[in-house]
Structure 1
Amino acid sequence: MSTSKTLASVLLLCLPLALFAQEAIPSDTGTVAAKSAWLELTPEQKTEVMRFAEPYKDYLRHAKSAALSAATLAALAQQSGFTPFTSPSQVKSGARLIINNRDRAIAFVVIGSDPIETGSRVIAAHEDSPHINLKSRPVIQAPGSVALFKTTLYGGLKKYQWSNLPLALVGRIDTVDGRHLQVNIGFAPGDPVFVIADSAPHSDSQLRTRTYTQVLGGEEMNPVAGSIPGDHSTVAQQVMETLRQRFNIHDEDLVSAELELVPATQPADVGLDLGLTGSWGQDDKLSSYVASRAILDLKGTPRKTALAYITNFEEVGSPNNTGAGSQFLDTLFTELVDAQKPPATDLAVRNALRNADVLSADCNDGVNPLFPQNSEASNAAVVGYGVAIKRYGAGFDPNSEFTARILRVLDQNHIAWQTQTPRVEVGGGGTIGGFLSLRNMEVLDVGIPLLSMHAPYEMSSKVDLWSFYRLMSAFYAME
Structure 2
Amino acid sequence: MKFDNEQLLKYIGACTSPYHTVDTSLQMLLDSGFTELSLEDEWQLDSGSYVVNVFGTTLFAFHIGKKPEHTLRIASAHTDFPAIRVKPNPITSMKGYTKLNVEMYGGLIENTWLDRPLGAAGTVVLKGKNAFDVDSVLVDTKRPIAIVPNLAIHMNRSVNDGVKLNRQKEMLPILMMERNNEDNPTKPLNNRNNPSLFSESDTQYDEWTKFLADEVDCDPSEILSYEMTLYPTEQGCVLGTEGDFISSPRLDNLTSCFGVLSGIIQAKKMNVNGVRCAILFDNEEVGSRTKQGGAGMILPNLVKRVYDALGYSNQEMDSFISKGFMISSDVAHGLHPNYPEKNDITNIPVLNKGLSLKIACSQSYAGDAKAIAIVKGLCEEADAQYQIYVNRSDIPGGSTVGSISSAMLPIRTIDVGLPLLAMHSARELMGAADQEQLNRLMNHFLGGK
| Among candidates 356, 379, 397, match of residue 324 of structure 2 | 356
Task: Please tell me whether the aligned partners of residues 450 and 460 of structure 1 are also in contact (alpha carbons under 8 angstroms).
Answer: yes
**More displaced 10-residue stretch of structure 1: 146-155 or 395-404:** 395-404
| Among candidates 325, 334, 359, match of residue 391 of structure 1 | 359
Q: Does 1:173 align with 2:124?
A: yes
Residues in 2 aligned to 1:401 and 1:314: alpha-carbon distance in whole angstroms: 26
**CA deviation after TM superposition for structure 1 residue 113, in Å:** 3.4
Change (3 A) 1:202 1:209: closer
Change (3 A) 1:61 1:192: closer
Task: Please tell me whether the aligned partners of residues 165 and 171 of structure 2 are also in contact (alpha carbons under 8 angstroms).
Answer: no
| Among candidates 320, 325, 332, match of residue 290 of structure 2 | 320
Q: Does 1:275 align with 2:244?
A: yes
| Among candidates 120, 131, 139, match of residue 183 of structure 1 | 139
Which residue identity does 2:237 align to in structure 1? A
Task: Please tell me whether the aligned partners of residues 333 and 353 of structure 1 are also in contact (alpha carbons under 8 angstroms).
Answer: no
Q: TM-score, normalised by structure 2?
A: 0.86
Task: Please tell me whether the aligned partners of residues 118 and 145 of structure 2 are also in contact (alpha carbons under 8 angstroms).
Answer: yes
Unpaired segments ≥5 residues, structure 1: 1-44
Residues in 1 aligned to 2:161 and 2:102: alpha-carbon distance in whole angstroms: 22
Task: Please tell me whether the aligned partners of residues 158 and 213 of structure 1 are also in contact (alpha carbons under 8 angstroms).
Answer: no
Task: Please tell me whether the aligned partners of residues 380 and 420 of structure 1 are also in contact (alpha carbons under 8 angstroms).
Answer: yes
Matches within 5 A, 1:141-180: 141-143=93-95, 145-177=96-128, 178-180=134-136
SS at match of 2:416: strand
**More displaced 10-residue stretch of structure 1: 75-84 or 296-305:** 296-305
Q: Does 1:291 align with 2:295?
A: no
Which residue identity does 2:178 align to in structure 1? I
1:33 corresponds to = none
| Among candidates 402, 407, 411, match of residue 433 of structure 1 | 402
Residues in 2 aligned to 1:428 and 1:451: alpha-carbon distance in whole angstroms: 14
Q: Does 1:368 align with 2:368?
A: no
**CA deviation after TM superposition for structure 1 residue 462, in Å:** 2.5
Which residue identity does 1:60 align to in structure 2? I
C-alpha deviations, 1:104-158, integer Å up to 9, x for none? Answer: 1111111133334x63111010011110001111110124x20100000001111
Which residue identity does 1:467 align to in structure 2? Q
Task: Please tell me whether the aligned partners of residues 193 and 264 of structure 1 are also in contact (alpha carbons under 8 angstroms).
Answer: no
Task: Please tell me whether the aligned partners of residues 383 and 461 of structure 1 are also in contact (alpha carbons under 8 angstroms).
Answer: yes
Change (3 A) 1:406 1:192: closer
C-alpha deviations, 1:199-241, integer Å up to 9, x for none? Answer: 1112224xx3897461444442110011132269999987347
SS at match of 1:428: coil
Which residue identity does 1:410 align to in structure 2? C
Q: Does 1:415 align with 2:365?
A: no
Matches within 5 A, 1:39-188: 48-49=2-3, 51=4, 53-85=5-37, 91-93=45-47, 95-116=48-69, 119-143=71-95, 145-177=96-128, 178-185=134-141, 187=142
Matches within 5 A, 1:11-30: none
Unpaired segments ≥5 residues, structure 2: 129-133, 184-188, 191-202
Change (3 A) 1:238 1:114: closer
Q: Identical aligned pairs, as a percentage?
A: 22
Structure with more strand by fraction: 2
**CA deviation after TM superposition for structure 1 residue 182, in Å:** 2.9
| Among candidates 442, 448, 451, match of residue 418 of structure 2 | 448
**CA deviation after TM superposition for structure 1 residue 406, in Å:** 1.5
Task: Please tell me whether the aligned partners of residues 131 and 261 of structure 1 are also in contact (alpha carbons under 8 angstroms).
Answer: yes
Change (3 A) 1:242 1:300: closer
Residues in 2 aligned to 1:266 and 1:154: alpha-carbon distance in whole angstroms: 21
**CA deviation after TM superposition for structure 1 residue 423, in Å:** 1.0
Residues in 2 aligned to 1:376 and 1:305: alpha-carbon distance in whole angstroms: 37
Residues in 1 aligned to 2:395 and 2:240: alpha-carbon distance in whole angstroms: 30
Residues in 1 aligned to 2:221 and 2:170: alpha-carbon distance in whole angstroms: 23
Task: Please tell me whether the aligned partners of residues 153 and 218 of structure 1 are also in contact (alpha carbons under 8 angstroms).
Answer: no
Task: Please tell me whether the aligned partners of residues 294 and 472 of structure 1 are also in contact (alpha carbons under 8 angstroms).
Answer: yes
Which residue identity does 2:383 align to in structure 1? H
C-alpha deviations, 1:325-380, integer Å up to 9, x for none? Answer: 222212211111112225x43x3443343332000100112111222221124212
